[in-house]
Amino acid sequence: MRFVPTKIHGILDYVGGVALIIAPMLFGFEHLGGPAVIIPRSIGFILIAYSLLTKYEWGLFKVLPMPYHLVVDVAGSLFLIISPWLFGFSHEGLNVWLPDVVSGIGVIGLVLVSQTEPDYRATYVRPYGETYD
């Protein structure tokens, strides 16, 4: 069941992108450098970039249809989930690799419940309570 409107999904895209960018600092592993830091930050920037290109309420350029956006969400999430093992930082502390895994799983969950089309219908209310589309 897809009950999360694209308007909410879009807000979470930008919040998630920023969270991934600051995750190494927030979780205290920025000093490690390398893939452990580069991957979440890169995915965060990429997420913000394709969100700006998505045809939904928060998209600036509106060229990428929402279903394609959701496919990119899943692909990026799967990459984020396997990256600690793929790039060899899974032996570091939980604070280093667990945020990637949890973020990836969370985004896949969000994709499964997000609507695939934005609702651009806006209802305007005139001063005397009459509505029109």
Number of independent structural domains in the chain: 1
Q: What share of the chain is helix, strand, coil (3-state, %, to 5)?
A: 65, 5, 30
Element housing 1 (H / E)? none
> Does pLDDT of 130 surpass 70?
no
- What is the domain range of residue 33? 6-132
Query: How high is the pLDDT of residue 131?
Result: 54
For residue range 58-117, list pLDDT tens digits in order.
Answer: 999 999 999 999 999 999 999 999 999 999 999 999 999 999 999 999 999 999 999 999
Assigned domain for 1 exists:
no
Assigned domain for 47 exists:
yes
Query: How high is the pLDDT of residue 127?
Result: 58
**Contact, 67 vs 39, CB < 8 A?**
no
For residue range 6-63, list pLDDT tens digits in order.
Answer: 999 999 999 999 999 999 999 999 999 999 999 999 999 999 999 999 999 999 999 9
Query: How high is the pLDDT of residue 119?
Result: 84
Long-range contact pairs involving 31-36 (C-beta distance under 8 Å, separation at least 24): 32/89, 32/92, 32/96, 34/87, 34/89, 35/83, 35/87, 35/88, 35/89, 36/84, 36/87, 36/89, 36/92, 36/96, 36/97
